[in-house]
């Protein structure tokens, strides 16, 4: 099936991993791995574009920077 590895062998390896690491660590590892793969895919997609942003993306970025600037000014006034 998988280069000589059967489904039973995979299940045994998975059971050993659960016993050694526990389900919580495996869950965290899985979510971290998923996040890394997602970030990699986004970076590849961003890299394949020609580097120019769409007009909507530019407007959204400007709006976010204005919100951050206004939050910083509020913090400066309250301090």
Its pTM stands at 0.40
Cα distance between residue 42 and residue 26, in whole Å: 24
3: phi > 0 → left, psi -120 to 50 → alpha, else beta; which? left
- Domain ranges in the chain? 1-48, 54-79
Which CATH code, of 2.70.98, 1.20.5, 3.30.420, 1.10.490, is assigned to 1-48?
1.20.5
Question: CA 30, CA 32: separation in Å to the nearest integer?
Answer: 5
Helix (H, G, I), strand (E, B) or coil at 62: helix
3-34 pLDDT tens trace: 788 899 989 998 998 899 888 888 888 899 99
């Amino acid at each position: 099936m998988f280069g000589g590895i059967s489904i039973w062998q995979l299940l045994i390896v998975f059971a050993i991993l659960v016993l050694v690491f526990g389900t919580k660590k495996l869950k965290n590892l899985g979510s971290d791995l998923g996040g890394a793969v997602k970030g990699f895919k986004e970076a590849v997609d961003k890299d394949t574009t020609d580097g120019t942003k769409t007009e909507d993306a530019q407007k959204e970025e400007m709006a976010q920077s204005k919100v951050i600037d206004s939050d910083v000014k509020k913090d400066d006034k309250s301090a």
